[in-house]
Amino acid sequence: MEKGIRSVLFDMDGVILDSMPRHADAWIRVFRQYGVDLAPLDIYRREGMSGRDSVIDIFRERNVAYPGDDEYGRILEKKISIFERQPVGLFPLVKEILHFLRERRIALALVTGSLRRSVERALPRDVMDCFDAVVTADDVSRGKPDPEPYATALRLAGGGVHESLAVENAPMGIRSAVGAGIQCIALATSLPEEHLREASLVLQDHRELMEYLQDRL
Ligand SMILES: [Mg+2]
């Protein structure tokens, strides 16, 4: 039986922020300096892993020795400095969707593997203010795909697991939400549907998400 929705939990990158092509571009440029050629899909399918885990995973997959944690620090600095050169924008309809939900007194949470300082840098104040709870990498001991981030956000935002909805765009995030018992909708903003099958529903874009929410609320 489908219950009413009392809270909606949003991932940030690829859901609120149109940032994944820029993340991919920055990683591709940095890895090229280490002799590893990547395509955007190599980044998109690892979205949600910690930076260090994904770097180790990429070197291992390409049979290149991981250069160690000191060098990882430099890799991450280079990536951040390329990524932060330009601001990233919101997806179309994001503000309309958030306002639509707030008008219906739905609790809203942001659930991201990014650091809090990156979130505060990336999101405009009026968008931050829409969220009743913001769960970042700084707020959990285990990140996505562990259920902890979504379970924490649900506890802070309120509402039972069967009255909540998560919106994700990547396999690790979907696994985290589903592991916390929350119904998950995936947006195919970075990955095609074949990567998003653990979600209960895959929508193509924010227009389809708005229509879905208007139907349910
Ligand atoms: Mg995402």
The string of pLDDT tens digits covering residues 92-151 is 999 999 999 999 999 999 999 988 988 999 999 999 999 999 999 999 999 999 999 999
Q: How high is the pLDDT of residue 176?
A: 97
Confidence of residue 206 (pLDDT cuts 50, 70, 90): very high
Q: How high is the pLDDT of residue 1?
A: 41
* Ligand 1 centre distance from Cα of residue 1 (Å): 28
* Ligand 1 centre distance from Cα of residue 115 (Å): 14
Q: Do 169 and 10 touch, CB atoms closer than 8 A?
A: no
Instruction: Please give the Cα distance from 143 to 84 (Å, whole number).
Output: 23
* Ligand 1 centre distance from Cα of residue 125 (Å): 20
Q: Which of 11, 13, 18, 42 is catalytic?
A: 11
138 classed as catalytic? no
Confidence of residue 159 (pLDDT cuts 50, 70, 90): confident
Instruction: Please give the Cα distance from 147 to 132 (Å, whole number).
Output: 19
The string of pLDDT tens digits covering residues 3-53 is 689 999 999 999 999 999 999 999 999 999 999 999 999 999 999 888 898
pTM: 0.94
Q: How high is the pLDDT of residue 2?
A: 55
* Ligand 1 centre distance from Cα of residue 215 (Å): 24
Pairing between β-strand 164-168 and β-strand 107-111 as defined by DSSP bridges:
unpaired
* Ligand 1 centre distance from Cα of residue 187 (Å): 9
Average pLDDT of the segment spanning 149-165: 96
Instruction: Please give the Cα distance from 211 to 81 (Å, whole number).
Output: 37
Q: Domains in the chain, ordered, with CATH?
A: 7-19+88-216 (3.40.50.1000), 20-83 (1.10.150.240)
Instruction: Please give the Cα distance from 167 to 202 (Å, whole number).
Output: 10
Edge-first strand listing for the sheet containing 164-168: 133-135, 107-111, 7-10, 164-168, 183-187, 201-203
Query: With 80 as the cut, is the pLDDT of residue 198 above it?
Result: yes
